[in-house]
Amino acid sequence: MLKINKVFIITCFLFVQFSLFAQNNTNSPYTRYGYGELGNKSFGAGRAMGGIGYGLRSSKQINPMNPASYSAIDTMTFLFDFGVYGQLSWFDDGTNKQKNKNGNVEYIALQFPITNRLAMSAGILPFSYVGYDFNHVETVEGETFVNNFTGKGGLNDIYAGLSMDIWKKRLSVGANVGYLFGSVTHSSLLSFPSSTSALGIEKKQEIKVNDLKLDLGIQYTHPLSKTEQMTFGLAYTPSNKLNTKVYNSVLEGSVLTIDTLSNSVFDIPASYGFGLSYVKQNKLTAGLDFLYEEWDKATFGDETDLFNNRYRVAGGIEFIPGYMERSFFKRIRYRAGVHYGNSYQKVNANTLGTNDNGYDDYGASIGFGLPLIDNRSFLNLSFEYMRIKPQARSMIDEQYFKITVNYTFNEQWFYKFKLK
């Protein structure tokens, strides 16, 4: 087995620290609702192919979207994967326009075989992001008041998963056990700029989460020829009542009131994912995904009817012009994809002037898998454009351009060299 370079270990550690504590992930006002913007669990190739993964099965990529995929890894291989991103966002409320930049380390993961039928993966993923800062101004009977809303934080998912081939090269099952943790803070400051006597009121709520979650998956691969195959994948996450603590505080003038709640109910919903892929070995991969989440059954802070059921449809393709060619450009993996879905959030009428509306999101992506010297490890680049289309004209219109850089380290750590 190869020895791990010390610099490599230090780099991994730093990336984990940045992933846990950095907060510069989003500026969307819609992250005020629920758990915020939900994270994307798609890595590498899948990210540039519209964010697919339920039906993808590869020995060269980690795919936590479906834990059944881990057993596809070669028995002599160790995979290490991390991703970073940069994002440019545009916001338009019909009167004002704003532009923001964000960037962060997004995930880190590893995968390795245990036996020729059993493999393991572990890593840390984003579950949700919260980050916003906006004002709401109103004038009532000649009195002007300003409500400033700010939020930060997010939830992370540390997972460890196993996958087993039940029917070699045909049927596999897998499961991830995750530890969901983190905190989300929402604040509002009510001020009266036209009055010298009215006291400002600041309200703050911090939600801390620490609990386990479970992801299950299954994949079936059907050979079409010696070089072609179809894979069907299913993934399921059961609903869960989270272990949470809520810290509420109200500051009115110089009077501070603090309240801690330990029994409030916060749910994550049941989630169902289905995907299929067609693979022509070392030439072409095409896939389609569908996701459905039962958010309307979820309770958030003891309140119900706060969310919409969420769905997402995505499709993508990868093409390799010449896998064994000397030309670098022919060995590049060219990728593209599209996706469409809806929001799980219902937007409150008191802050954005709407009536429990949500939004639809759709986008397109392209990307490249750049093979490194050994033709095993890859530097993956993806470029994604996404549009947030509100269901009401009074809501804020958002657009994103996102660049993701993903490095997949593929090494034969278990290969034994023979001396002659």
What does the pLDDT look like over 138-159, one tens digit per residue?
Answer: 776 667 778 888 999 999 999 9
Give the C-alpha separation, 221 to 55, whole Å.
9
Task: Please report the pLDDT score of residue 74 as a whole number.
Answer: 86
Other C-beta atoms within 10 Å of 101: how many? 10
6-411: which CATH number, 3.20.20.450, 1.25.40.10, 2.40.160.60, 3.40.50.970?
2.40.160.60
Nearest alpha-carbon partner for 27 in 113, 125, 102: 102
Task: Please report the pLDDT score of residue 2 as a whole number.
Answer: 43
Count H helices, E strands: the chain? 4, 19
Return left, alpha or beta for 31; rule: phi > 0 is left, psi -120 to 50 is alpha, else beta. alpha
pLDDT digits (tens, 9 = 90+) for 222-278: 999 999 999 999 999 999 999 999 999 998 877 788 888 878 899 999 999 999 999
What whole-number percentage of the chain has pLDDT above 70? 87
pLDDT digits (tens, 9 = 90+) for 78-122: 899 989 999 999 988 777 788 888 888 889 999 999 998 999 999
- Cβ-proximal residues to 52 (8 Å cutoff; 6+ apart), any chain: 42, 46, 65, 275, 277, 287, 288, 289, 314, 315, 316, 337
Q: Name which of 2-6, 243-247, 299-303, 331-335 the model is least confident about.
A: 2-6
311, with CB counted inside 10 A (0-12, 13-18, 19+), is middle
pLDDT digits (tens, 9 = 90+) for 20-45: 444 457 788 888 889 999 998 998 88
- Highest mean pLDDT out of 13-22, 59-68, 393-402: 59-68
Nearest alpha-carbon partner for 84 in 35, 22, 1, 33: 22
Task: Please report the pLDDT score of residue 98 as a whole number.
Answer: 84
Q: What is the pTM of this model?
A: 0.88
How far is CA 352 from each of CA 30, 36, 134, 397, rounded to the nearest angstrom? 9, 16, 10, 12
Average pLDDT over the chain, rounded to an integer = 86
pLDDT digits (tens, 9 = 90+) for 191-221: 877 666 667 788 999 999 999 999 999 999 9
Q: Confidence band (pLDDT; 50, 70, 90) for 9? A: very low
Other C-beta atoms within 10 Å of 394: how many? 14
Domain boundaries, the chain: 6-411
Stretch 312-321: mean pLDDT = 96
How far is CA 272 from each of CA 215, 279, 313, rounded to the nearest angstrom? 10, 23, 12
Other C-beta atoms within 10 Å of 368: how many? 17
Task: Please report the pLDDT score of residue 197 as a whole number.
Answer: 66
Under a CB-based contact definition with an 8 Å cutoff, are residues 181 and 209 in contact?
yes
